[in-house]
Amino acid sequence: MKPMFRVFSFTVLTSTLLFSSCVKDLYDPEVIAEKNPDAEIPVGFKFTTTKNVNLTVNVNDEYNGEKFYLVEVYNQNPLASNSKSKLLTAGVATGRAPFVEDIVVSQSDSVLYIKQTDPLQREVVKVLDVTSATTAVCDFSNYTFTTKSASSVAISTRAIPAPSEKATAYPLPNENQRTLLGSGAITLAANTKYYLPAGVTNNQITFEGGRNNIELYVEGSTTFSNTFSLTDGCKIIVLPKGKIVANAGLNWYGNDVVVAIHEGGSFNINSDASFGKNNKVINDGSLVTKNLIMDNNAKVINNGTFTTPNIQVTNNSVLENNNVFVVNELKGNSNTKLVNNGDLKATSISLTNTFTIDNNHHIEAAYLFFGGGGGTLNNNCFTVCDDLETEQGTLNSAPGSLLACKDFYGNNSTFTLKGNAIFSIGDVAAYSLPTSNKLTSGSNFNYNVVINGVIENSLKPLFYVKSGVIKNGWKPLSLGGFLDVAISPSYDANLLNNVAETVKLSKEPQTAIAETACNGSGATEDPGTGTPTNPSFPIKVETGNEYTFAMEDNWPALGDYDMNDFVFTIDKISYKKGNNNKLATLSFEITPVAAGATNRLALGVQFDKIASGSLSLVSSTDGIGTKENGQEKANLILFPDVYSTFGISSPGITNTDPSKTKYASKSYQFEVAFNNSVSESDINISNLNFYLIIGQNNDVNRKEVHLAGYKPTSKVKSDPLDYTDYNNMVWGLLIPTADFKYPIEALKIQDAYPNFLNWAKSGGSNNANWYLSPQSGKVYNK
């Protein structure tokens, strides 16, 4: 268990702590807070809302160190259209000299977005998890930009499986085993084989119910005008040049019925038909049906041409296409399967309840729907549709394959792309598909859509949104594994949920994939500007970092602990960097917000890593700032009189009491220069030691108030215990936002922010963003 200090009471301010009239100007070790058993704050906790991360970025150097890559670090996705991303830091790198900086982020920040811009001005973003990191490495070097068409990744055409069965497995029986038919009427008998020879037409053949094991071999022509039924073991074999037409209902309700159509033969069913109970249709010729239902382990093996307006596949049935299959509407459910080894063209394919498609060649559809119950597509080659809708769908794409659609809707669905597979959304005009009106134009990622990438043979897959409006719910899309993601249209910052560190985000594909029979037109790489160039040095880095400092002035007494004795913001932090990532200048802006104190106050800053002689003040608004002499480290007096920035001549409660006048204050800009170039790490917010000077600015031994853990300037001679008291309480807070709502006058910060105490007691582990949830009516909002 960590050692603890008892903290000052959060509920009662006792008279021993109210030193406003008798507190000493200097630290007095005899003036301490009383012990209180109500709460505990871990020893060493400095009330920090930020953390330092030592970041290394390895760029994907294609120029052998001769060109510089721009590296930018953001707190949110900079590629999103409405992102509120803030630039945290920036610099340059080569393969020989990575980008290395010690950056400061909010304790609640869990990820960083690292953007690499190469000499061709191509932008790529990776996400880096810094939830509990003190060091982090972002590596772009394992991603390859293809800059020459000759190095485009080619894929071979996937081998198509052989048909599981052919009609030739059902040859004409020997002459002594069959009964020859003429053109006369006949009712077929059970357990008998019949042969209708070539050149003979007989439209008076009757299958009578209840007669099993009838086999009819047709090389001539026959038409069934009345409803007929095939019972157990019956077979109809259409031999080459044979032709059968069924104009009435066809009901195959027996077990193990077989219909086999040889190459050159045809079977047209012009009325609704259904079959099941292990029945099987093998078509090597031409099969045309009206509405067809496959049920109870039925199987169709198409090795020829199969055309039907509507087909329903259900209850463990299998539809295998090895050649040409044209259908208006295909519906499947209940543990059934479509195996496509040929060309399948459909207006609508609707799959529910664990239906599986194994696609080894080409599927083209206007509308492809995976409904509830877990439909699966194993796409090993080419699947393209106008509209793709997935509800609890599982879609797996093999290396070299293409899954493409113009419009997309996804909900509770998972995509797994392997090797150099492509999943694209947007323009599919090149494929001349029939159009669908099932979905509105664009992409709609509704909820829990996951796209995972898997490397195979050193190749990574591509997820590419080419065009169309992107709609989304609240962070519905997660990207995992090794995956290149290119999203060209603008998209909302709340589109992406979890993004793996191995995912690469861009607006255009960064790797060319050559066109093959299985991937349509492949993927064209982003050419960039065509001519590699370096950034113009020095580069100006205008960060989005912004902070609020909230200070108490009664040190070493806690006073009312409202953290509003002086409140100011710092933002517009910018600097110029050379090609060695060293800084020559630094600019920042400070805005006084409130001064809820009656003491005379001045504001200073000490550059803890910069010697006094190494810094000069270039400029400040109205010349308000001065460099302070006689200091070991560089110090600036920013505001010699805090109240004057509000236009007030003497100390008094300012902008903390809602019942009193609010005073405006302008922003003050400061620019400093360094005699010797310094590292950004030396002047980040962690090394800018802001402090208050209480009372007169005494050069001999003045009273300063700093944040916990910071040392006073060399003009303070006494020991301030790192500006924490006996109970580990502090006199100042750094908040990583410029929109911090400070407590109203005399209201303790723990009362204005209900999560503050839990955060402090946990040593910062819990409620890290406590400052985003103020109590209504207890903070200054005037």
Given a cut of 80, whether residue 105 has pLDDT beyond it is yes
The pLDDT value given to residue 540: 96
pLDDT band, very low/low/confident/very high, at 142 (cuts 50, 70, 90): low
Summarize the confidence of residues 335-354 as an average pLDDT. Answer: 95
State which amino acid sits at residue 386: D
Cα dihedral 438, 444, 447, 451 sign? positive
Summarize the confidence of residues 621-628 as an average pLDDT. Answer: 98
Distances (CA, A) of 39 to 10, 11, 555, 761: 8, 10, 21, 7
The pLDDT value given to residue 39: 54
The pLDDT value given to residue 440: 85
Asked if 639 and 691 touch (Cβ cutoff 8 Å), the reply is: no
Distance CA 50, CA 44 (A): 15
- Whose CA is closest to 59, among 11, 122, 8? 122
Asked if 438 and 412 touch (Cβ cutoff 8 Å), the reply is: no
pTM for this predicted structure: 0.89
Given a cut of 90, whether residue 30 has pLDDT beyond it is no
pLDDT band, very low/low/confident/very high, at 627 (cuts 50, 70, 90): very high
- Of 67-71, 427-431, 672-676, minimum mean pLDDT range: 427-431
The pLDDT value given to residue 637: 98
The per-residue pLDDT for range 453-482, each reduced to its tens digit, is 999 999 999 999 999 999 998 999 999 999
Q: Which residue has the higher pLDDT, 228 or 595?
A: 595
Given a cut of 80, whether residue 374 has pLDDT beyond it is no
Distance CA 710, CA 731 (A): 11
The pLDDT value given to residue 698: 74
The pLDDT value given to residue 734: 99
Given a cut of 90, whether residue 684 has pLDDT beyond it is yes
- Of 21-30, 191-200, 553-562, minimum mean pLDDT range: 21-30
- Of 511-515, 523-527, 776-780, minimum mean pLDDT range: 511-515
- Provide the percentage of residues in the chain whose pLDDT is more than 70: 93
CATH class of 50-144: mainly beta
DSSP characters over 646-670: GT-SS---BSS-TTSPPPP---EEE
The pLDDT value given to residue 371: 86
Summarize the confidence of residues 774-779 as an average pLDDT. Answer: 97
State which amino acid sits at residue 240: P
Q: CB-side exposure of 618: number of CA atoms within 13 Å?
A: 12
pLDDT band, very low/low/confident/very high, at 23 (cuts 50, 70, 90): very low
What is the overall mean pLDDT for the chain?
91
Pairing of strands 299-302, 280-283: parallel
pLDDT band, very low/low/confident/very high, at 340 (cuts 50, 70, 90): very high
Distance CA 574, CA 85 (A): 16
Given a cut of 90, whether residue 237 has pLDDT beyond it is yes
Distance CA 329, CA 654 (A): 74
Summarize the confidence of residues 196-214 as an average pLDDT. Answer: 94
**Domain ranges within the chain, ordered by starting residue:** 4-43+541-746, 50-144, 167-289
Q: Which residue has the higher pLDDT, 234 or 36?
A: 234
Q: Classify residue 608 as exposed, middle or buried by CB count within 10 Å of its CB (0-12, 13-18, 19+).
A: middle
Mapped onto helix, strand or coil, the DSSP state of residue 16 is: helix
The pLDDT value given to residue 158: 60
DSSP class of residue 517? T
The pLDDT value given to residue 25: 36
Given a cut of 70, whether residue 153 has pLDDT beyond it is no
- Whose CA is closest to 78, among 89, 68, 69, 67? 89
The per-residue pLDDT for range 300-333, each reduced to its tens digit, is 999 999 999 999 999 999 999 999 999 999 999 9
